[in-house]
Structure 1
Amino acid sequence: MPTLSQLLLYPIKSCAGIAVQKATLLESGLAAHGVHDREWMLVTEAGQFLTQREFPRMALIRPRPEDGTLRVCAPGMADLLLPLSWQEDAPTRQVQIWDDVVGAADCGEPAAGWFTEALGTRERVRLVRFHRDVVRPTSVKWTGGVPSHTRFADGYPLLLIGQSSLDDLNLRLRAAGRAALPMDRFRPNLVVAGLEAFEEDYTASLSTGAAEIRPVKPCARCPIPAVDQASGVPGPDPLDILQTYRANPKLDGAVCLGMNCIVSAGAGSRLRVGQELAAELAF
């Protein structure tokens, strides 16, 4: 039977994630220890979002919730402490993530200076927090018209990968004389053991109790899986191997691994590592 083997959140988009044993399943994604997935994001002064595509060193920025704050660490720097309580006086800044422009709370000059130094860029960057009064709808093109919403995730509130899918890729990488990759290269929220390789592609829903998670869109992969999440250094890109068998005609040949998901029932339910899931296949 499929089992939830990992739960992961990324408090600051494209920075290091945190693995948790339990999380709350919300329509907008996972929440745990007072933080939400992709609740914060780095942007340029003009409001354009930043990721490891431009700054691989973002992998070395490690946020951790601690005693009512988000403690953020980076090599060679004093820790930054951000309040988890909502700051009513924070100015609103319009920021762009892909085609969406939303209002976000600016986290101030000290945070901007800290992240600018952490990334080693001469152009100042800013930290913003997803505004609690904003709803960012997801596209209904892939959901069959079912509405959903997310914070600063690329497109959908959850990313699911089956452990067997990564195992299959690693077999191919080793056969090509290359090193196997850890799951963190692909930055999922949910890792499920007990599915066949790529069976998540054909899963209509995964459910436990009142909660139902619906895979809706294959995840087209960008160059980020080439970045070693422990060192922040790009290495060999697995996309060349994936290209040989994971090009998806539904996405104009984009290389896909994992499924973007929505929460179709049971928002507010608790998930835990080791939880059994009922899988309904789409055929």
Structure 2
Amino acid sequence: MTHSSLTVSHLAIHPVKSLKKISVDQAVIDRMGFINDRRWLVVEPEGKFMTQRHYPKMALISAIPDEGGLILSAPGMSDLMIKDPEQASAASQKRVVVWKDEMQALDAGDAASQWLTECLGLPCRMVKFSSQEHRQVDLRFANEGDCTGFADGFPFLLTTEASLQELNSRLDTPVTMDRFRPNIVVQGTDAYAEDRWKRIKIGEVVFRVAKPCSRCVMTTVDPATGTKTGKDPLLTLSGYRRAEMGVIFGQNLIHESEGVIRSGDTVEIIE
């Protein structure tokens, strides 16, 4: 079933979980999802993951992938180049926790820790996902072998422009799609058409729609200011988009192969 009008209008990666997004024209998919998407993580000293849910100021920090690692920048801070610990001869390992998953990650060093600690005003460290690690996606919604990096639970999040438009029609103050941090945005659909999709094809890559994305307080953080702006859009969404798994906006995807997808690609609904 082809909807020739359905196309990818936006692609984004988030190199460090919960830091600024980077818009891209095309993205390469490997076993864990988009390359450079949520492969780095900021953690509390004991290893628990940190996000904008509790630290909204993280929205103002950008991390740009560079050949040898990452460049961190933020308002009022000098840029910092972090070397990829995977390329170091003896990177120290650190046990980290993302929700209920524990894994070994590679510590990015003291300079990164000091920079982030100064920027956020509390002790923290930076780690990178180890290529030796395999984080299995929740088997209630995935197949054995499906894996992801430091994303909340799935390799991809897809949203549609029509769904955001419909939500904004109910809000006093419209919000941007950045509140929802999708990797893939589709245009040409009806609002919430994505709720009915089971398998889709973008470019040459087939994706399974694994489960709806349940939304949290992070949607109340304005990415432009790094501050919480009240109870919306979560409050409004909860009034009409509440389901068994929570307040729903967008769909989590799992890729069936590696490949490249591009902005402007046609989206085909297979089932």
TM range (shorter): over 0.9
The amino acid across from 1:218 in the alignment is P
Alignment of 1:197-276 (within 5 A): 197-236=191-230, 237-249=232-244, 251=245, 254-264=246-256, 266-267=257-258, 269-276=259-266
Q: Distance in 2 between matches of 1:231 and 1:170?
A: 19
Q: Aligned-pair distance for 1:163?
A: 1.1
Alignment length, in residue pairs?
A: 265
Q: Judge conservation of contact 1:93–1:104 (CA < 8 Å) in 2.
A: yes
The amino acid across from 2:209 in the alignment is P
Q: Distance in 1 between matches of 2:149 and 2:65?
A: 18
Q: Judge conservation of contact 1:4–1:274 (CA < 8 Å) in 2.
A: yes
Q: Distance in 2 between matches of 1:209 and 1:52?
A: 32
Q: Judge conservation of contact 1:26–1:263 (CA < 8 Å) in 2.
A: no
Q: Aligned-pair distance for 1:210?
A: 3.2
Q: Does 1:18 align with 2:22?
A: yes
Q: Distance in 2 between matches of 1:73 and 1:202?
A: 40
Q: Aligned-pair distance for 1:90?
A: 1.0
Q: Say which of 148, 151, 160 aligns to 1:150.
A: 148
Q: Distance in 2 between matches of 1:68 and 1:179?
A: 41
Corresponding residue for 1:46?
46
Q: Aligned-pair distance for 1:147?
A: 3.8
Q: Secondary structure at the match of 2:11?
A: strand
Q: Distance in 1 between matches of 2:203 and 2:158?
A: 18
RMSD of the TM alignment (CA)? 1.4
Q: Does 1:30 align with 2:39?
A: no
Q: Judge conservation of contact 1:2–1:279 (CA < 8 Å) in 2.
A: no
Q: Secondary structure at the match of 1:59?
A: helix
Corresponding residue for 2:126?
127
The amino acid across from 1:164 in the alignment is A
Q: Distance in 2 between matches of 1:88 and 1:20?
A: 31
Residues 86-121 of structure 1 deviation map (CA, whole Å, 9 limit, x = unaligned):
223110000011111100000111111100111012
Alignment of 1:85-234 (within 5 A): 86-121=87-122, 124-143=123-142, 145=143, 147-173=145-171, 178-234=172-228
Q: Distance in 2 between matches of 1:146 and 1:217?
A: 16
Q: Aligned-pair distance for 1:215?
A: 1.2
Q: Distance in 2 between matches of 1:26 and 1:20?
A: 16
Corresponding residue for 1:75?
75
The amino acid across from 1:95 in the alignment is V
Relative to the length of structure 2, the TM-score reads: 0.94
Seq. identity, %: 38
Residue segments in structure 2 that go unaligned for 5+ positions in a row: none
Residue segments in structure 1 that go unaligned for 5+ positions in a row: none
Change (3 A) 1:166 1:142: same
Residues 153-210 of structure 1 deviation map (CA, whole Å, 9 limit, x = unaligned):
000000000111111100111xxxx111000010000001112111111111221353
Q: Distance in 2 between matches of 1:167 and 1:29?
A: 27
Q: Aligned-pair distance for 1:67?
A: 5.0
Residues 138-165 of structure 1 deviation map (CA, whole Å, 9 limit, x = unaligned):
012023x454100000000000001111
Q: Judge conservation of contact 2:41–2:126 (CA < 8 Å) in 1.
A: yes
Q: Aligned-pair distance for 1:53?
A: 0.9
Q: Secondary structure at the match of 2:237?
A: helix
Q: Distance in 2 between matches of 1:199 and 1:87?
A: 46
Q: Judge conservation of contact 2:12–2:184 (CA < 8 Å) in 1.
A: yes
The amino acid across from 1:137 in the alignment is Q
The amino acid across from 1:76 in the alignment is G
Corresponding residue for 1:60?
60
Greater than 4 Å deviation, 4+ residue runs: none
The amino acid across from 1:160 in the alignment is L
Q: Distance in 2 between matches of 1:238 and 1:217?
A: 21
Relative to the length of structure 1, the TM-score reads: 0.90
Q: Distance in 2 between matches of 1:13 and 1:192?
A: 22
Q: Secondary structure at the match of 2:270?
A: strand
